[in-house]
Structure 1
């Protein structure tokens, strides 16, 4: 089952959902702020999407700025980065979509259509 980690008030999540609905794609919506992905899921997403862990952060988010993640990130181990992301869904770039074999992070319409539609 396709997992769609998002936030209903997020504009890019709504755009992605609209694309999925128009294409008839069945997915499970998971509120990323209430149920963030686990450390294991985040590691798998990073590997499936072929992106470094630091690209999983929502760098434009309020929490990212308030917690001064940019300054802390260079000193954090991979394990610490994953634990931080898994503990606070507002820090994760969204939408985060995965089927366990493929994954996309963030909204890129061309990428979403190319991979999921």
Structure 2
């Protein structure tokens, strides 16, 4: 089953949702703003994405700029920042089995379908 980590306030995330609907694939939606991933879930996502935690952070968000920018943070500290402030998590994230992509641009979803 395909999973989309979705924020309905984000236009790119809504585009990803529409893309999956248009492909007529079965998928589940996780609204990560309401159901924030745990540290272990984020670590699993990072493994599937094959990226370090910093690459999953929305670095232009005010929260990041005000509290974290310029600091040397460990992977666990970055993950903790995303758990405390889920708005920092890049979106949408599409997962299919043991692979995942950040769907920016939306067409990247094709890489794991």
Both proteins in one fold, TM over 0.5 = yes
Against the structure 1 CA distance between its residues 3 and 92, is the aligned structure 2 distance closer, same or farther, given a 3 Å change threshold?
Answer: same
Output the aligned Cα RMSD.
1.7
- What is residue 101 of structure 1 aligned with on the other side? 98
Quote the offset at 1:106 in angstroms. Answer: 4.3
Question: CA deviation digits over 1:11-39, x for unaligned, max 9?
Answer: 00011111100001222212221112111
Greater per-residue helix proportion: 1
Q: What CA distance in whole angstroms lies between the structure 1 residues aligned with 2:64 and 2:54?
A: 12
In structure 1, the residue matched to 2:109 is 112
Match of 1:11 in 2: 11
Instruction: Provide runs of 4+ in structure 1 moved above 6 Å.
Output: none
Q: What TM-score comes out, normalization by structure 1 length?
A: 0.84
1:57–1:92: 8 Å Cα contact kept in structure 2? yes
